[in-house]
Structure formats: C-alpha cells, structure tokens
A and B are shown apart, each in its own frame.
Chain A
C-alpha cells in the first residue's frame, strides 16, 4: 500500500513537477484552440462537399473522409511529421499536429454534420425555398440550426475525443500536458507526475462527459 502511495501519489514529486506540468497544460490549451475550430469549420466543409449534388465532388470527398477515418491519428501524425520531410516538406511539431488533426477531426466532425443535415426532412428545404430563400440561405437559416441541434451530443462528444487526442502530440515532442508529465516521470522514476496530469485531464473532461451522458438521455427521451 505504501509503495503504491509512494509510486503514484507522491505529493513532494507532484509539487516539484507542477510548474512543468502547468506549462504543458498551457500548450495543450493552445493546441485545442487551434485544432477544435479548424476541425469544426473543416468538418462543415467536408460535410457540405460530401452532400454535393455533383457526383464528381461528392465521391472524392466521401472517399477522403473514409480514408482519414481509417488511419489511426497517431499514424497520420507520424506520417506528416516524419514522412513529409522526405518529400521536402519539413513542418514544426505544432504545424504537423495542426495538419494531421485537421485531416482527422474534420473527417469525424464532417460525418456528424452530415448525419445532422440528413436528419432534416426534404420538406424543410422545399418550404424554405418556396418562401424565396436561396439555397445557401436555406442552409444557414433553416437546415443547419436544426441539424446542429440534432447532433449536438455527438459534436460535444467528438470534441472531448479531440481534447483527449491532443495527448498524442507528445510523441512528436510537442511539450504539452502528457509530454511534460512524462518528462518529469523519466527524471524522477516516479509515476506521480502522470497521475497529476491524469487528474488535470479528469478535472477538465469529467464534467463534459457527465454532460454528454445527460444530453444523450435527453435526446433519447
């Protein structure tokens, strides 16, 4: 028991690692502020293209989405970070993370938006068009607001996944929360810094996870 406390809940080591871990938390926040808006906007573009009336636009987009949903994000990140330099494209860790996350999360958000848009009946389109609204107006004033409401739990839940996913940026040496904690672990030979990082992830994400459970029940009812 004592060994477990020493190894995982060592307050002294946690206090020592705290400044490093807080600077990691700041990096994680910066990554989130870059990749979540990118994904939300990119996802909407992906969704609209994957619903385009023109087959030549629609099919390549559907294939792109499925490809990026099939490749594990870590594989994509390492490909972008370690593979692209061979083609003469050398990206900083942060730009590599931004690019890999953009491709991955836009595909996931795109599928969610698409399901939302498809859940809106065609009658809504006809009605809106008959009042004189143009296609883009129908989309932004009538269809999207309802579509987003229908898939809100999925959008929130995917955002939690994106925040969790930022931890893989540690693999390309971007000093975010997990990377900082793992640095502290390898210096102290003690897992308490990782427990501290886990506690921070929990503090941020647990309320959101609870909220998702409630949102999902609310919609189901």
Chain B
C-alpha cells in the first residue's frame, strides 16, 4: 500500500465514517445543548453581577472581585475535576453534563462580568449626571442610558471570550460527558482507526468556523481607529 492510500485509510475510511456518523452526530447535539445552556446562563449571570457591582456596595464588590478573579485564574479542567470528584464525597451528586454546564457557566460569568463592568466604567460620568438630572432614578439611568451604550462596546470581546469558553465543552470528555470529542475517541478505540477523530475535528470546524468568522467581523466593525 502506498503512503497516500495508507493515509486516507487511517483518516478518511468510508466504512468507519458510515458506522460512526450517528454517534458523532449525537455528540454534536450534546455539545450544542451544553454550549447553549452555558452561553445563556453564563452571560446573564455575568451581566447580573456587573449590575450588582455598579451599586458599589464595598463588601459585595469584594466578593464579586474575588469570585471573578479566581475563576479567571484557575484552569477550567481543574475546576471540573474538583467539582466532579469532590462534591459526591460531601453528599452532592450531579450528573456529569450538569457539572460541565455549571463550571463553564461560572467561568463565562466571571469573564462576562469583567467585560460588562469595563463597559459600564467606560461611560463618562456626565452621562450619569445628565440622566439623573432629567429625573431618571439609578436603575433607570443604568437600564436606559448606561447599559445600552456599554453593551455595544462589549460585543467584540464578549463574543471572542464566549467562543473560547464554549470550545471548552470538549473538556467534558474527561468526566465522561458524551459530547463530540468523547464520541470520537471511543469510536476511535472501537474501530482502531483515526477516522472518527478526523470526523470530530471536522464537526468542530463546522460548528465553530462560522462563529470565529463572525467574531472577526465584529472586531473589524468595532476596530481601533487608526491614528
């Protein structure tokens, strides 16, 4: 067998593709479900934390900063193993997909809070004063004047961060969540062939290239002005 056919036989074997396509597709569904849950809950929690932080209650803000910093400094895989293996021993049992969702949503919330907070801080004080002088309350000012402007600024960094954290759903394979990578590696060991790994990689490309390109587009639209 020449090198080329050995290569296609290892990575693009049709019979293996046919047999394991359903498993990979099942993984795709699981990945999409967990990713959607992480994105929605993570971003909403991050926004909520940023709003709470804008009340500037010192004790509360200290807690938020500690939470955010810890989740930004710790590798997600460390958190995942800690929650997955640690909690059952203190009597809390969670299925592995719920652990994956919880950890990634908290990590995304931490990064999102920091991005939203930077956005809120970037709105000049005069905007607050002007809004308050028209009779809007604190919350009204935040909701109708500050946040609409702040959130616009946060779109590009938030998109990129969200993509990066959503890709971490692949870490779920370590704790046995049946997502794409998990399906691909078990199919690889069943078939003794690398084709399922290639299929998994292609599945990720199909899912994520569009969002990566979208992120690039958003970044160009909101690009730094040339001096």
Contact = CB atoms under 8 A, between A and B. Distances in A.
A202 B212 contact: no
B78 to A, nearest CB: 5
B212 A70 contact: yes
A160 B194 CA distance: 32
Contact of B78 (A78, A120, A197): A197
Interface string B71-84: 01111111101100
A178 B75 contact: yes
B81 A178 contact: yes
Interface stretch (B42-50, B128-136, B137-145, B203-211): B203-211
A72 B204 contact: yes
Contacts of B197: 78-79, 82-83
Contact of A87 (B11, B184, B200, B227): B11
B82 A220 contact: no
Interface in A82-116: 82-84, 86-88, 115
Interface SS of B by simple majority: helix
Contacts of A161: 164
Interface of B: 6-7, 10-11, 69-70, 72-79, 81-82, 85-86, 89-91, 114, 118, 121-122, 163-164, 167-171, 173-174, 180-181, 184-185, 188, 193-194, 197-198, 200-201, 204-205, 207-209, 212-213, 216, 219, 223-224, 226-227
Interface in A104-152: 115, 118-122, 150
Given A87-B10, A115-B219, A122 B170 contact: no
Given A74-B170, A78-B197, A86-B193, A66 B216 contact: yes
Contacts of B188: 82-83
A194 B86 contact: yes
A27 interface: no
Contacts, number: 156
Interface residues of A, number: 59
Contact of B81 (A118, A119, A166, A194): A194
Given A87-B7, A168-B171, A121 B227 contact: yes
Identify the interface centre among B70, B74, B226: most chain A CB within 10 Å of its CB. B74
Contacts of A76: 201
A9 to B, nearest CB: 11
Interface string A200-221: 0110011011100100110010
A75 B181 contact: yes
Contacts of B90: 3-4, 7
A40 to B, nearest CB: 19
B223 A118 contact: yes
Contacts of A88: 6
A71 interface: yes
Given A71-B208, A87-B6, A213-B114, A182 B121 contact: no
A198 interface: yes
A76 B208 CA distance: 14
A58 interface: no
A216 B118 contact: yes
Given A202-B74, A210-B69, A220-B122, A86 B86 contact: no
Contacts of A74: 170-171, 173, 181
Contacts of B121: 217, 220
A97 B69 CA distance: 27
A72 B181 contact: yes
A45 B113 CA distance: 33
Nearest to A207: B73
B86 A167 contact: no
A201 B74 contact: yes
A30 interface: no
Contacts of B164: 161
A108 B185 CA distance: 26
Contacts of B70: 202, 206
Nearest to B205: A70
Contact of A78 (B11, B168, B181): B181
